[in-house]
Amino acid sequence: MNAERYQRGWEKLMEIDGEGGERVIESLQDIAPDLGRYVVEFAFGDIYSRDGLDLKQRQLVTLASLTTQGGCEPQLQVHINAALNVGLSPQEIVEAITHCIPYTGFPRVLNAIFVAKRIFLERNVQSR
């Protein structure tokens, strides 16, 4: 394990996802601790720490990617919360998801919107 890479990734994970990210990593400890380490080191230590996009832009790309893949509702939950954490508004999140309709279709976009709706209600934020 590269301690510097892990530390950089952990700090970025906490900045973006906070407790939600920590819960994901902790949930892997008893079954796949290496997977948690890969998420921290690679996704956050290498990819999220790159120059070129700010955290809001990175979350917009992530939301679009998860929406178009479909079946990623648990990850969408984490990343919609992350999008709010880094300063995206609920309206921007809805617009990013809605923008995916021509590329992925209504069912996947509807699934993503309902995840967003649940999170907005939990966090007591207005989407309109």
- Rounded to two decimals, what is the model's pTM? 0.92
- What residues contact residue 54 under an 8 Å CB cut-off, 6+ apart? none
pLDDT at 115: 98
98-124 pLDDT, tens digit per residue, is 999 999 999 999 999 999 999 999 999
74-90 pLDDT, tens digit per residue, is 999 999 999 999 999 99
Distance CA 16, CA 1 (A): 22
- Provide the pLDDT confidence category of residue 128 given band limits of 50, 70 and 90: confident
Distance CA 128, CA 61 (A): 22
pLDDT at 3: 93
Domains and CATH numbers, the chain: 1-50 (no CATH), 53-128 (1.20.1290.10)
User: Residue 1: pLDDT above 90?
Assistant: no
Distance CA 67, CA 73 (A): 8
Distance of CA 15 to the CA centre of its chain: 12
15-68 pLDDT, tens digit per residue, is 999 998 999 999 999 999 999 999 999 999 999 999 999 999 999 999 999 999
- What residues contact residue 107 under an 8 Å CB cut-off, 6+ apart? 70
- Provide the pLDDT confidence category of residue 126 given band limits of 50, 70 and 90: confident
- What residues contact residue 10 under an 8 Å CB cut-off, 6+ apart? 40, 44, 45
